[in-house]
Structure 1
Amino acid sequence: MTVFDDEFPAVANLDPALLEALRRAAADAADDGVQFYVNSGWRSPEYQARLLREAIAKYGSKEEAARWVATPDTSPHVSGDAVDIGPSDATAWLSRHGAQYGLCQIYKNEPWHYELRAGAVERGCPRMYADPTQDPRMRQ
C-alpha cells in the first residue's frame, strides 16, 4: 500500500501531521521516479503484542527482541506516530530529503522506520539512537 491508500487502517490511522508530511514527500519523490510503500504504519495493540511475542521467540529473549520490537504501550506505531517505508530506494530518498518534511530516521538499525520531527525542517533530524533500547520513550 502507498501513503495515499486511505482504505487501509495502517495508513488512515496515522497521525494526520505525519501522514501529510509523508504525502508531500511521496509526491516529490515521485518526481524523481521513487514510490513510497508503507510496509507497516499504524498497528493495533493486539498486533503489536503479537509482533513482540514473535520477536521474543525469534531472538530468544525480551531484551534482544526489544532491539527490534516495542511493547504495545511504548510503540510509536500503536499511537500512529511511526511508519516503516520501503523499498530501499524510498528509504534512500528519505535519508537525503526527509528532514525537509520533518521526516526522520530514528534508529540506526532500522533504516525503514520514520517519525515526524517538526523541528527537523529548521534544524535537521536529531541524532539517531543505535536501536530502540537506547530510546528513552521505550522504557517503562
Structure 2
Amino acid sequence: MRVTVFDDEIPAVVNLNPDLLAALRRAATDAADDGVELLVNGGWRSPEYQRRLLREAISKYGSAEAAARWVAAPETSAHVRGEAVDIGPVGGAAWLSEHGAGYGLCQIYRNEPWHYELRPDAVDHGCPPMYADPSHDPRLRRKATPRGA
C-alpha cells in the first residue's frame, strides 16, 4: 500500500488517530513545499491483518522472539490502535526524520526508520530516545492473563 495522508477513502489513513493524522497532513504539506512526498506504506490495521503479519514474520524469522523485533501482536500494536504510521518512500521517511519533531512525529525504533508515532511534547522538547527495536518497547509486552480468566 502506498497512499498519501490525504486519501480519505483508505481505512489505513482515515482510521488513524485524528491528532496523528492532522500532524501528518501538516508535515506532508510542508514536505511537498520542499519537493518531498510523504506516502503511507502502513497505517491503521485491523487485528486480523496484524495477526497475519505476525504469523508471516514468525515464519520468516523462525520464532516469535525474532519476529517481535519487527511485528507486534494485535493486542499491543500501535497500528491496530491507529497510533502509528509507516512512511515512505525513503526520501519521505528521511525528511520526516529531520523535521518530524516539529510536528510531534517521532521515529520510535532504530531498526524501523519508516515507523512514526505522535509525541506532542516533541514539538517543544524533541523526540524521546528510540528503542532499538519493538522487542525493547515496554508498551508491547503482553499483560499476563490470570489463570481461570
What is the distance in 2 between the residues matched to 1:77 and 1:12? 12
Instruction: Tell me which residue corresponds to 1:70.
Output: 72
What is the distance in 1 between the residues matched to 2:42 and 2:98? 21
Could you list the runs of 4 or more consecutive aligned residues of structure 1 that deviate by over 4 angstroms after TM superposition?
none
Q: Pairwise mapping of residues 103-114 of structure 1 onto structure 2 (< 5 A)?
A: 103-114=105-116
Letter in 1 for 2:15: N
Q: Secondary structure at the residue paired with 2:4?
A: coil
Superposition deviation, residue 37 in structure 1? 0.6
Which 5+ residue runs of structure 1 have no aligned equivalent? none
Residue 23 of structure 1 is aligned with which of 14, 22, 25?
A: 25
Residue 131 of structure 1 is aligned with which of 127, 130, 133?
A: 133
Superposition deviation, residue 59 in structure 1? 0.3
What is the distance in 2 between the residues matched to 1:133 and 1:57? 17
What is the distance in 1 between the residues matched to 2:130 and 2:4? 25
Superposition deviation, residue 112 in structure 1? 0.1
Letter in 2 for 1:101: Y
Identity of aligned residues (%): 74
Superposition deviation, residue 69 in structure 1? 0.2
Instruction: Tell me which residue corresponds to 1:34.
Output: 36
TM-score of the superposition, structure 1-length normalised?
A: 0.99
Superposition deviation, residue 20 in structure 1? 0.1
Instruction: Tell me which residue corresponds to 1:54.
Output: 56
Letter in 2 for 1:17: D
Q: Secondary structure at the residue paired with 1:48?
A: helix
Q: Is 1:119 aligned with 2:121?
A: yes
Superposition deviation, residue 74 in structure 1? 0.4
TM-score of the superposition, structure 2-length normalised?
A: 0.93
Letter in 2 for 1:73: E
Instruction: Tell me which residue corresponds to 1:95.
Output: 97
Letter in 2 for 1:123: H
For residues 23-46 of structure 1, the C-alpha deviation after alignment (integer angstroms, 9 at most, x for no partner) is: 000000000000111000000000
What is the Cα-based RMSD across aligned positions, in Å? 0.3
Which 5+ residue runs of structure 2 have no aligned equivalent? 143-149
